[in-house]
Amino acid sequence: MTEASAVQPSHRGDARICRGCWDQMHVPIPIRGPLALPFRAFGITRSKMNPNICTICERSFRYVKKQSHVAASATILFADIRGFTQLSERIERIRLSEIVSLFQDRCAQAIWAHDGIVNKTMGDGLMAIFNFPIVRTDHAQAAIRAALDIQRLCAEALGRLQLDDLKGQPLGVGVGIHSGDVEIGEFSSFRSDFTAIGGTVNLASRLESQAEAGEILISRDTADQAGDLASGAPTRLLTLKGIDQPVAARVIVNQG
């Protein structure tokens, strides 16, 4: 094994060094294997945002980037369970928590497989970032592939549940995706985890709010970078809260 191959991170789900620290600082921080043990003693472990990055990426943004926030190009994905509000009024809390855990786990599996991070979880919804801290020049395509996997994995898992309380309205997942410039960094004085803010994040969230169960709504900016993944997808003109002009979104429907 050459010196270069010894430090280069794996592009599978078992990278031995933090891919975020490697991409952002070109510093090999061990996160798996014997070399990771001394780092764990200092609290440097794998991040919950993505197991291929470490807690330096997650909690020490100012240290990594030498400033509180930076401008970056990224793709933002929001996903949410459709039908969950109605269901929450009819079944026990423990069953609700099981459904949320199933959804979060399947989404994380899909997002991590395409080098995204699960940046925020919000009950029956979540927000993911692609192209930071793991760099992907094809981040729009990566997000769409993750969304397709989310729809497939969640449809399989949710479809196996016995939920008579829904009265014929099956659970499903709606996804919204937008690509553009964001501000990424630490914006709270009492939390050190980083996140992304800006119009790109807001539009992705608005698209997700309009997605029906099984749908992936992507912006024109994302579609322009998506190549064949968005070709042939129909366009839907949307009126979105807080956005003056109608937004033309491509609609990718889960076929499985």
Strand partners, 179: 75
Please, where in the chain does CATH 3.30.70.1230 lie?
70-253
- Look up the pTM and report it: 0.91
Residue 242 DSSP label? T
- Which residues have CB under 8 Å from 36's CB, separation 6+? 16, 30
Strands 195-197, 172-185: pairing kind: antiparallel
- Which residues have CB under 8 Å from 107's CB, separation 6+? 79, 118, 126, 128, 150, 153, 154
Q: pLDDT in tens for each of the 256 residues of the chain?
A: 333 333 444 445 689 999 999 998 899 999 999 999 999 999 999 999 999 999 998 877 777 777 778 899 999 999 999 888 777 777 778 888 888 999 999 999 999 999 999 999 998 999 999 999 999 999 999 999 999 999 999 999 887 776 665 565 668 999 999 999 999 988 876 666 789 999 999 999 999 999 999 999 999 999 999 999 998 899 999 999 888 889 999 999 966 5
Q: Which CATH class is domain 70-253?
A: alpha beta
